[in-house]
Structure 1
Amino acid sequence: MPTVPILMPQLGESIAEATIIRIDITEGGSVAADQEVIEVETQKATMGVTTLCSGVVREITAKEGETYPVGTTLGLLEVTDEEVAKTGVETLESAAEKRVAAAAAPEQEEKNLHFAVDDETYEEQQPVVEPSVRGLPVPAGVKGAHYISPRMRARMDELGLREADISAVVGTGAAGRVTVEDLEKFLDYIETWPSSHASPMRLAVADAMRRSWTRPLATVGRPVRLDRTLDHRGKQDPKPGLTLYVLRAFAIALAEDPASAGFLIGEKIVHPRAFDIGVAVQVEDGVVVPVLRNVDTMTLAQLTDEYAAMVDRARRRRLTENDTKGGIATVTNFGTFGLTSGTPIPLPNETLILGLAAGVTRPTWSKQVEAFVPITEADLVVTFDHRVVDGGGAGMLLARISELLQTPENL
């Protein structure tokens, strides 16, 4: 009977691999077309692998807990000729026949159309580039891992290490350069230390933060009074979270000044075409950022329902790629952990992230009653790409958000 593979599908534009969480089929069992047979975990969510056609499971090659790249064969199905004709799926047998036919075809000689020399001699004719500073492999006085030799780079690639991963290694090479020997000595030193495996979610967060930190980021903050917002919230049913009041005020302020959320490409600042804003959600082993669409046009009641559904999907790891892409900025309420200050980091594709700290009750002098009265304040902080936004612009953005929060009935 013809054989059809169960392949690891392309689960998103930026997803190259996934980890097997659960296998829901057994060898010898029957499956239907489009049946979810394997559950996998990507960097952002859990998803299902489905079958292309109906058949009988001949072999399962995947193992739970293992990670496989896109295109890997996870199992094999035995199918009927009628099913192949009906669905048009490619079988292993037909794919093998195509490879044999391609191998038997006369080989076409590729011509190098870009250079008037043979491929074999082109490399030899290239001019030799002389170093501009002789005798110094790195600038004098530089310390640490600012320069990485090709040999060191190759060893890091073998180990799957990034530059940030070797920041703790003390270099003994020229001008403090970290050598392969330094790296090996460091790895031997920490070999017996306790360690744990980083989850796909943790690795995704780490990768995003590495890329974010390639930009000049700055943070400013100011206190905002929450008494009127809390009073308004207490009268609502259901009650919107403070995060949603801040989210709504943030969207209105950005809609008034779209350039604040623009991003720099070459010599252009590209402005947002929609005010889709993400909300950071803490999950078991990291943070995910589902995106709420057109926040500037939604009411608080609409945001409350949409946000509740999105958080539920996030915590069940059921977010799709569309749920997490396309945001222009993020709101994070780190005050839920009792934190009164913080420096949130924006995602690599965003210029801004707005953080809300925990509310604190403080005595404040009132001229009206000529006495100290209690007020509730929280710090609002915004971290921004300093290439696009200056401190003054970020301060005015926070002032406008604070102003909007004083009239919560208009949000």
Structure 2
Amino acid sequence: MAIEIKAPTFPESVQDGTIAAWLKQPGEAVERDELIVEIETDKVVLEVVAPADGVLESQLFGEGDTIQSNEVIAVIAEGAAAAAPAAAAPVSEAADEATVTVGDKVLSPAARKLAAEKGIDPAAITGTGKGGLVTKEDVVNFKVAPAAAPAKAAAPAAEIQLPAGERTEKRVPMTRMRKRIAERLLDASQSTAMLTTFNEVNMQPVMELRSKYKDQFEKVNGGTRLGFMSFFVKAATEALKKYPAVNASIDGNDIVYHGFQDVGVAVSTEKGLVVPCLRNAENMSMAQIENTIRDLGIRGRDGKLTIEEMSGGTFTITNGGVFGSLISTPILNPPQAAILGMHKIQDRPMAENGQVVIRPMMYLALSYDHRLIDGKEAVGFLVTIKELLEDPARILLGV
């Protein structure tokens, strides 16, 4: 019995998708719920699995082809047995329609072709597909380790060696996600009256509180570690209650004030920056915040986030400090009206009560849409964040 495999139903905000990688080829056996193809959209990479055991009979689209929502992309012969494998052939003579084994590595056709073009030894690539299959994405993401100083005669390098001093260029098409990120960032800079205000916060009180209770916190909450993000999210939710315009958005000629606080947390992935949301963050405990952020971060890096998890949001927090950024001006995430930027914690000399002391300081940046938020509100919001973090007890007391 032939079963049609259809693309997922895309939400209204996603027009179409692109076949990113076929993980199964025609003639190969598939098991129920086994991943067979990845589809890249403007926001996420969607996975399509086999609905039943059988054999992949045909692919109606190739890698790189554009598909529509619910469009038939492949056909499975339910219950059929896979054809007996052909005798192993050299990589250069392998058929384009089948996977090929190189040493102990199994490569998809696209991966084999790209590895040959790049001059990469397949044996050095770690496969992330089912059963260790090396996919095209594995080859794209592969980074050749820097060559060690020559000590003795070594095997020929797999990567093409260019003459010293030669000027080279490499042209790589943007992924759909990267193109969408570029469009949104450009739109944010052109369609909003964006302004950034700065302040600094003494992180010593938070660091001391975290150091004092982190072991007990982890024990009570089943291994959940106490980080800094939960303090910032809780401080932000308290400040948003005090300054509701910062949590609002513009819709045409209307201002929409949100009675909830869906806080987006920017996550950097190999495919670009994504912003999954903490729904109703104002009602979450610090342990729930830490757990959710960790889960979203892991799934974001693995490309497992859903479109629903990255949709919406009323306010965003981004942490450039994890990459060493000392200060920056974050860009708005429309239709949100503000975004808070965290940065690197660095010891600096500070004047306190007429004395110079060393304190762990962090610069904070709040970018906001001046069409909706006045400077007084923006500065007041950021000062509230600073005061709450420098006296963390106020976060728990809500004062």
Asked if Structure 1 and Structure 2 have the same fold, meaning a TM-score greater than 0.5 normalized by the shorter chain, the answer is yes
- Other-structure match for 1:207: 183
In the alignment, which of 356, 366, 379 is matched to residue 382 of structure 1?
366
Does 1:45 find its partner at 2:22?
Answer: no
Counterpart in 1 of 2:160? none
How many angstroms does 1:43 deviate by? Answer: 2.9
After TM superposition, give the deviation of residue 194 of structure 1 in Å: 4.2
SS of the equivalent of 2:303 reads coil
Distance 1:198 1:28 in 2: 32
CA offsets 1:269-322 (integer angstroms, 9 cap, x no match): 111121110011111131111111222222212211111111111111100112
Matches within 5 A, 1:289-308: 289-308=275-294
The alpha carbon displacement at 1:225 in A equals 1.3
| Structure 1 residues 339 and 32: CA distance shift in structure 2, 3 A | closer
Of residues 278, 287, 295 in structure 2, which corresponds to 1:309? Answer: 295
Structure 1, unaligned runs of 5 or more: 81-191
Q: Distance in 2 between matches of 1:366 and 1:384?
A: 31
The one-letter amino acid paired with 1:195 is: R
Aligned to 1:278: 264
Aligned to 1:230: 207
CA distance in 2, matches of 1:57, 1:362: 62
> 1-side partners of 2:371 and 2:324: how far apart?
32
What is residue 316 of structure 2 aligned with on the other side? 330
Asked if the contact 2:247–2:261 (Cα under 8 Å) also holds between the matched residues in 1, the reply is no
Q: Is the contact between residue 329 and residue 346 of structure 1 (CA under 8 Å) also seen in structure 2? A: no
Aligned residue runs from structure 1 range 367-378, under 5 A: 367=353, 371-378=355-362
User: Once the two structures are superposed, what CA deviation does each residue of 1:369-404 show, in whole Å capped at 9, x if it has no partner?
Assistant: x53211122111111111110111100000111111
Q: What SS does structure 1 have at the residue aligned with 2:260?
A: coil
**1:374 aligns to what SS in structure 2?**
strand
Match of 2:123 in 1: none
Scaled by the length of structure 1, what TM-score is found? Answer: 0.66
C-alpha spacing 1:195/1:32, structure 2 compared with 1 (3 Å): closer
Q: CA deviation at 1:74?
A: 1.8
The equivalent of 1:218 in structure 2 is 195
> Aligned in 2, Cα 1:58/1:216: closer, same or farther, shift over 3 Å?
same
| Mean CA deviation greater in 374-383 or 238-247 | 238-247
Cα displacement (A) at 1:29: 5.3
> Is 1:268 paired with 2:254?
yes
Find the aligned partners of 1:362 and 1:220 in 2 and give their Cα distance: 21
Aligned equivalents of 1:233 and 1:244: distance in 2? Answer: 11
In 1: Cα distance, 2:78 partner to 2:228 partner = 55
CA deviations 1:30-73 (Å, max 9, x no partner) are 66776643222323332222456776543222223444343543
Q: Which moved more, 1:264-273 or 1:380-389?
A: 264-273
Q: Is the 8 A contact 1:255 1:296 kept in 2?
A: no
Indicate which of 130, 152, 173 corresponds to 1:197: 173
Contact 1:222 1:379 in 2 (8 A): yes
Structure 2 Cα separation of the partners of residues 13 and 265 of structure 1? 18
> Post-superposition shift, 1:78?
5.1
CA contact (8 A) 1:366 1:372 kept: yes
Do the aligned partners of residues 341 and 29 (structure 1) sit closer, same or farther apart at CA in structure 2, a change above 3 Å counting? closer
Q: CA deviation at 1:328?
A: 0.2
Amino acid of the residue matched to residue 10 of structure 1? T
Give, in angstroms, the shift of residue 243 of structure 1. Answer: 2.7
What per-residue deviation string (whole Å, max 9, x for no partner) do you get for residues 321-354 of structure 1? 1211121010011122222211101112211100
* Structure 2: segments with no counterpart, 5+ residues: 80-167, 219-224
Report how far residue 16 of structure 1 moved: 2.4
Q: List per-residue Cα deviations over 1:243-269 (Å, max 9, x = no partner).
A: 331121011110232222211234431
Q: When the two structures are superposed, what TM-score results if normalisation uses the length of structure 2?
A: 0.67
Give the SS at the match of 1:384. strand
Deviation string 1:137-156 (CA, Å, 9 cap, x unpaired) is xxxxxxxxxxxxxxxxxxxx
Who is 1:125 aligned against? Answer: none
CA offsets per residue over residues 60-104 of structure 1, 9 Å max, x none?
Answer: 222234443435432234579xxxxxxxxxxxxxxxxxxxxxxxx
C-alpha distance in 2 between matches for 1:31 and 1:315: 26
Match of 2:274 among 288, 291, 300: 288
Residue 189 of structure 1: aligned partner: none
Contact 1:248–1:296, Cα closer than 8 Å, also in 2: yes
Contact 1:10–1:16, Cα closer than 8 Å, also in 2: no
Q: What is residue 304 of structure 2 aligned with on the other side?
A: 318
Aligned residues of 1:351 and 1:385 also touching (Cα < 8 A) = yes
SS across alignment from 1:47: strand
1:142-180 deviations in whole A, cap 9, x for unaligned?
Answer: xxxxxxxxxxxxxxxxxxxxxxxxxxxxxxxxxxxxxxx
Match of 1:246 among 232, 236, 239: 232
Matched residue of 2:336: which SS? coil
- Determine helix, strand or coil for the equivalent of 1:378: strand
Structure 1 CA distance, aligned partners of 2:379 and 2:242?
15
The RMSD of aligned alpha carbons is: 2.6
Retained in 1: the 8 A contact 2:250–2:335? no
Q: Give the corresponding residue for 1:11.
A: 10
Question: 2:3 & 2:175 partners in 1: Cα distance?
Answer: 31
Once residues 287 and 75 of structure 2 are traced to their aligned partners in structure 1, the CA distance between those partners, rounded to angstroms, is 49
The 8 Å contact of residues 21 and 39 in structure 2, kept in 1 or not, is answered as yes
Give, as a single letter, the amino acid of the residue that structure 2 aligns with 1:292. Answer: L
Please say if 1:357 is aligned against 2:337.
Answer: no
